[in-house]
Amino acid sequence: MSTARAIAGDIRSGAQRAADVLEEYLGRIEAHDGDVHAFNTVTAEQARAAAAAIDAAVDEGRDPGPLAGVPVAFKDNLCTRGVATTCSSRMLEGWRPPYDATVVQAMTAAGAVMIGKTNLDEFAMGSSTEHSAFGPTRNPYDLARVPGGSSGGSAAAVAAGFAPLALGSDTGGSIRQPASLCGIVGIKPTYGRVSRYGLVAFASSFDQIGPFATDVADAALALGVISGHDPFDSTSIPAAVPDFEAALARGVEGLRVGVVSELTGSGRNGAATGSPMLGDAAGEVLGGIDADVTERVLEAADALADAGATVGRVSVPAVTYGLTAYYLIAPAEASSNLARYDGTRYGLRVEGADVEEMNRLTRRAGFGDEVKARIMLGTFALSAGYYDAYYGKAQRVRMLTRRDFDAAYADFDVLLSPTSPCVAFRFGERADPMTMYRCDTCTIPSNLSGDPAMSVPFGTGAEDLPVGVQVMAPALGEEAMLTVAAALERAAPPLPKPPLAAAASTTGAGS
């Protein structure tokens, strides 16, 4: 399958037609998405009109943009004008926004063609895409396993070859964790680097939008397109957008890389775990991270050392409390954000004898069990008599996390950890909420701090399934993060192609 860069280059030069590329991808979706269910909506006719406009621009000698004719999938919590935006919830089933999210506008302006809206855990609350009102998404590597979540549809669409690029949202790991489980690249930018305008809110102080791609260079290209200040988002950072693609070729010589001890343990001997080195430290080790995943992270650290980086161990003690703090703050914000779905203004309405009963019946029918559980947890944490004991303490832990990361970045340019504690698991294996929530152990800390982080495939673990290594950087440190990610990609063992992607690549005119 071609990269987004190759597709755009061919279309801009006239070597390929955007309409032909689109039909190839639509053919793959038609042939194979019945098995995966990556999409809630396929926007075939709208995409054909957009592709025709791209071809017309090329014929007239105009440059359609850096993503000319590239099919892109958007997570179904990003507003798309006139196209159903459901958040995979009965509450918003059929709702068509009157405007596009800023990131959708940016991708379209760069020449991308929206091919559809992807499935997710309802209102982005989940780590497996099992909690969608419209049914689960399946992992292209093994249809009996989850793709991760909540952006599982976007990750599966890219991994299966249904689109070269996709956008998702990351509140506690919802881009990075499914990227890891599906063997692709996923980026959560610095909070405020990318506009949230038009993203249906889950937890507003955590939510960030970012790209999925098959390689680091495509992810960097997409990140550059969607980054930048937006006056419609009060949290948007008024900073210039760097040349992210230029960072990929810089090499890691002289960079300082810290392996987070709380997320990797003492490990084996090697560059990351041998004799004391720069910033050598060991903290309380979190349980539940599989040995095969840890081993891939240590091998990635060794590869960076071989490439010229200075690698050492670093302790970030507050990460051990990240899960607890997050699952108080995020549900509290969700409780507030989701109060707007009351049957009065838009979305589902279940009639009742009076307004109070209508509100109650609407929310009971419209929200799934996971969303209801998080709303109740958040409402409790914010209630009188409990606010200081729970929500207030969780916010103090958040500040402690920020301080601990700042201390780590005083000694290291980037940090490494697993992305997910395990490879893709089977449907129903993590039905217990706490077992499921622990899927976010490694990713949540960067949401608490607001720093950028990304997942890069690095070999396989149990049953030959992909493992992702997480690269973290300080705020606005995406360039160093991408430099290290590109080095890891160059050193990574070959990753088996998902059987479904191999099948999809034979559908249509070729790749």
Residue spans per domain, the chain: 4-170+177-184+201-213
Residue 479's pLDDT is 98
Residue 280's pLDDT is 47
* Rounded distance between C-alpha atoms, residue 184 and residue 152, angstroms: 12
User: Is residue 180 exposed (0-12), middle (13-18) or buried (19+ Cβ within 10 Å)?
Assistant: buried
Neighbour-count burial for 472-504, b at 16+ CB within 10 Å, e otherwise: bbbbebbbbbbbbbbbbbebbeebebbebbebb
User: What is the value of pTM for the model shown?
Assistant: 0.95
> What does pLDDT average to in each consecutive run of 10 residues of the chain (511 residues)?
94 98 98 98 98 98 98 98 98 95 98 98 98 98 98 98 98 98 98 98 98 98 98 97 97 97 69 42 78 97 98 96 96 96 91 95 96 96 92 96 98 98 96 91 98 98 97 98 98 90 58 39
Residue 287's pLDDT is 85
Domain 4-170+177-184+201-213 is in which class?
alpha beta
Neighbour-count burial for 20-36, b at 16+ CB within 10 Å, e otherwise: ebbbbbbebbeebbeeb
Residue 506's pLDDT is 61
* Rounded distance between C-alpha atoms, residue 198 and residue 32, angstroms: 30
174 catalytic? Reply is: yes
Residue 508's pLDDT is 47
* Rounded distance between C-alpha atoms, residue 166 and residue 114, angstroms: 9
Residue 431's pLDDT is 85
What is the strand order of the sheet 208-213 is part of? 39-42, 113-118, 71-75, 165-170, 208-213, 185-188, 453-460, 466-472, 414-418, 256-260, 310-314
Residue 266's pLDDT is 55
2 catalytic? Reply is: no
Residue 434's pLDDT is 87
Residue 276's pLDDT is 36
Selecting among 88, 128, 150, 417, the annotated active-site residue is: 150
Q: Strand 414-418 to strand 466-472: parallel, antiparallel, or no bridges (unpaired)?
A: antiparallel
Residue 366's pLDDT is 97
Q: Which residues contact 320 (CB under 8 A, 6 or more apart)?
A: 262, 283, 284, 286
**Residue that the structure tokens 């606005």 belong to:** 476
Helix boundaries (H) for 256-348: 291-306, 322-337
Q: Is the peptide bond preceding residue 449 cis, with omega within 30 degrees of 0?
A: no
Selecting among 88, 127, 132, 174, the annotated active-site residue is: 174
Q: Strand 71-75 to strand 165-170: parallel, antiparallel, or no bridges (unpaired)?
A: parallel
Q: Which residues contact 447 (CB under 8 A, 6 or more apart)?
A: 170, 171, 172, 173, 188, 206, 208, 326
Q: Strand 310-314 to strand 256-260: parallel, antiparallel, or no bridges (unpaired)?
A: parallel
Residue 61's pLDDT is 97
CB atoms within 10 A of CB 370: 17
Find the Cα–Cα–Cα–Cα dihedral 89, 90, 92, 96, rounded to 10°: 100
